[in-house]
Amino acid sequence: MTNDTPETTTNQKASPLAEGILVIKEYLKTAPSKPGVYRMIDPNSDVLYVGKAKHIKKRVTSYTRPAALNARLIKMVSRTAAMEFITTRTEAEALLLEASLIKRFKPLYNVLLKDDKSFPYILLSGDHNWPQITKHRGRRKQGGQYFGPFASTASVTRTLNTLQKVFQLRSCSDATLESRTRPCLLHQIKRCSAPCVGRITKPDYMDMVNEAQAFLNGKSSHIQQKFAHVMQEASDAMNYEQAALFRDRLKALTDIQSHQSLVNAMIDEADVIAAYEAGGQVAVQVFFFRAGQNWGHRSYFPRHQIDDDIAHVLGAFTAQFYDNKPAPKLVLLSHSIPDMVMLSDALSDRMERRVKIMVPIRGAKAATMAEAIRNAKEALERRVAETTSQQKLLAGVAELFDLETPPERIEIYDNSHIQGSDAVGGMVVVGPEGFMKNSYRKFNIRSTDITPGDDFGMMREVMKRRFTRLLKEDSDRERGHWPDLVLIDGGKGQLSVVTTILDEIGVSNVPLVAISKGPDRHAGREQFHISGQSPFTLPVRDPVLYYLQRLRDEAHRFAIGTHRAKRTKAIARSPLDTIGGIGAKRKKALLHHFGSAKAVAAADMRDLAAVEGISAALAQKIYDHFQDS
């Protein structure tokens, strides 16, 4: 990696473009002639652009020829103050590294995949005598089989509900299974076979496990034939209750298959990725097919420059999409992308099996792609409509609070606590595209000088920490992190506290508005407080009032949710956790011996020392700890 600051002659008359080219020429002296990734960095040390190249030096040289640069690249070169290089063995490796670095640094001039959350899976556990079927998200630590990905929690929940109806496998935790003495409600409504109390034999349960595996692996027709045969046998034997049970299981299988249908494309395992462009914006729709079933779809709206063509956006999206996800055997794209063969080879190397990327031209796969493109088009139309409505509301906010332009970033603050305990502050952020949840922040109240329940003191700490950090990280206000408007849940008192603390730390030109509930705390009669003005209200049916209520309620929801999570964690914490030398093993031994932490606290030293793993010295330490408490 090269990260040396070039020594250039200062020329005050040189244009920003000329200065940027001089910087790049200096770095060319040490640029490697190998495959790899390069980064262009601005004076604030922010990454402007991440690119990959088969030959780094040749690629970077192209930025020193102004005649070959478009308007976007001219802006980028003009802001370049430094560069970094990373070499790789092959260009395919560089392609994957580029995607990873783009997601990490979020450069201004790259296409960026936003809202890249992990997908849920169905887990059929394999580390217990009675395998459990459950929803899973995150790292695959537990042993067993994982089926997915599913596009959303709703998709996986719907499939799980059907699997419970059809195969009646347990969904409870191992601890719950071992502690049951009678069947739970799921057994009563015929969604669990109650292995916890021996209502099913082990061989019969494992048969259902194997059937569930077969269904999730796409062998649904075999399962249906088996259920139909058993149903007929039960009916012929006049065992109508058993026949009705298998009839209901067959119906559940049929329902989920009909819900999952999307053009009979006979696709076994594939992701269908369709892009649609209109008005300088691109929507990407991803459909997930696994085991011959459609497991849902999700919409994405990648950030990109207005002059980026749809193939470039789709290519960047696809590389970033599989940066942290397993790729299926087949990836179907709506457009031919740059480096398609190279991306296929890179993903094949990573997955250690063939990953084929193609653009379907005719047949059932092309029909499926047409359906996906239609969904992408409708998603983009909905987003444009929502954005237009949002822009009108932001224009109304600007007019109401006498802002020069509609705000691009509004920050809303609220606090939550119970009689001062587990106090937290919450900040939510909204912009032209709606709530920016990646920018939400929580503030655990740290000050010991604040009287429990002192809302003013809590707000003072939150605002001081937030804006002191802003001054440190973005003092020139060029990175888009500064709010155009700050809304505070409260009245004159909170507004006065915030105004004072911002003056103390030297922050100005940040519009502040406090929202109080008004007389009788009645929704619709909110009062708005601005320094130097009398409080005022809005007409009950004013759309801007509804919008501001939504913002205030979202801040309230976020603060309360954060507080509850903190309180739940505090309740679950054991007094034994605060004693040095007591790890998980000794804690477990003490709790098993005495039954509870309260009984440990009341025990004498001889009883404590009788526990396996507790020495006389440690027993004395535990005893002293609780006596001091």
Q: Kindly report the CATH number assigned to the domain that includes residue 497.
A: 3.30.420.340
Q: Report the distance separating Cα 570 and Cα 582, nearest Å.
A: 18
Helix axes 310-321, 340-351, angle to 10 degrees: 10
For every residue of 60-75, DSSP letters joined together read: HHGGG-GGG--HHHHH
Contacts of 415 (CB under 8 A, 6+ apart): 423, 424, 425, 426, 445, 455, 458, 459, 462, 489, 559
Task: Tell me whether residue 181 is in a domain.
Answer: no
Last residue of a domain, one of 536, 555, 570: 570
Strands (E), 228-280: 270-278
Query: Do 624 and 534 fall into the same domain?
Result: no
Phi, psi of 451 (to 5 degrees): -65, 135
Q: Report the distance separating Cα 290 and Cα 260, nearest Å.
A: 11
Give the closest residue to 461 by CA, choosing from 492, 421, 500: 500
Question: 246, 233 in Cβ contact below 8 A?
Answer: no
Task: Tell me whether residue 122 is in a domain.
Answer: no
Is the C-alpha dihedral spanning 503, 507, 509, 511 positive or negative?
negative
Query: Do 328 and 447 fall into the same domain?
Result: no
Query: Do 372 and 442 fall into the same domain?
Result: no
Give me the CATH number covering residue 83: 3.40.1440.10
Q: For residue 498, what are the domain limits?
A: 410-570
Query: Do 373 and 428 fall into the same domain?
Result: no
Task: Tell me whether residue 221 is in a domain.
Answer: no
Q: What angle do CA 450, 454, 456 make, to 5 degrees?
A: 100
Query: Do 560 and 456 fall into the same domain?
Result: yes
Last residue of a domain, one of 570, 590, 617: 570
Query: Do 442 and 591 fall into the same domain?
Result: no
Q: Which two tokens stand for residue 600?
A: 């440990």
Q: Which two tokens stand for residue 169?
A: 């496998």
Burial per residue of 279-312, b for 16 or more beta-carbon CB atoms within 10 angstroms, e otherwise: eebbbbbbbbbbebbbbbbbbbbbebbeebebbb
Task: Tell me whether residue 611 is in a domain.
Answer: yes
Question: 329, 354 in Cβ contact below 8 A?
Answer: yes
Model pTM?
0.71
Continuous segment of H or E residues that includes residue 431? strand 421-431
Q: Which residues of the chain have pLDDT under 50?
A: 1-11, 261-264
Tell me the β-bridge partners of 416.
424
Contacts of 259 (CB under 8 A, 6+ apart): 158
Q: Which two tokens stand for residue 106?
A: 């979020």
Is the C-alpha dihedral spanning 39, 41, 46, 48 positive or negative?
negative
Task: Tell me whether residue 61 is in a domain.
Answer: yes
Task: Tell me whether residue 518 is in a domain.
Answer: yes
Q: Give, in order, the Cα–Cα distances in Å from 53 to each of 35, 64, 87, 88, 107.
A: 6, 16, 10, 10, 17
Q: Enumerate the H helices of 12-152 as residue ranges.
A: 16-28, 56-61, 71-78, 91-105
Looking at the structure of the chain, the number of domains it has is 4
Beta-carbon-side half-sphere exposure of residue 545 (alpha carbons within 13 Å): 15
State how far Cα 256 lies from the chain centre: 27
Query: Do 319 and 338 fall into the same domain?
Result: yes
Last residue of a domain, one of 338, 365, 381: 381
- DSSP secondary structure letter of residue 120: P
Task: Tell me whether residue 394 is in a domain.
Answer: no
Is the C-alpha dihedral spanning 553, 557, 563, 564 positive or negative?
positive
Query: Do 549 and 580 fall into the same domain?
Result: no
pLDDT value of position 263: 44
Three-state DSSP class for residue 428: strand
pLDDT value of position 466: 93
186-192's contacts with Cβ under 8 Å and 24+ in sequence apart are 190/165, 190/245, 190/248, 191/161, 191/164, 191/165, 192/164, 192/168
Query: Do 478 and 550 fall into the same domain?
Result: yes
Contacts of 378 (CB under 8 A, 6+ apart): none
Beta-carbon-side half-sphere exposure of residue 116 (alpha carbons within 13 Å): 20
Tens-digit pLDDT profile for residues 307-365: 889 999 999 999 999 988 889 999 999 999 999 999 999 999 999 999 999 999 988 89
Query: Do 493 and 589 fall into the same domain?
Result: no
Query: Do 292 and 328 fall into the same domain?
Result: yes
Give the closest residue to 531 by CA, choosing from 518, 505, 512: 512
Query: Do 461 and 526 fall into the same domain?
Result: yes
Task: Tell me whether residue 128 is in a domain.
Answer: no
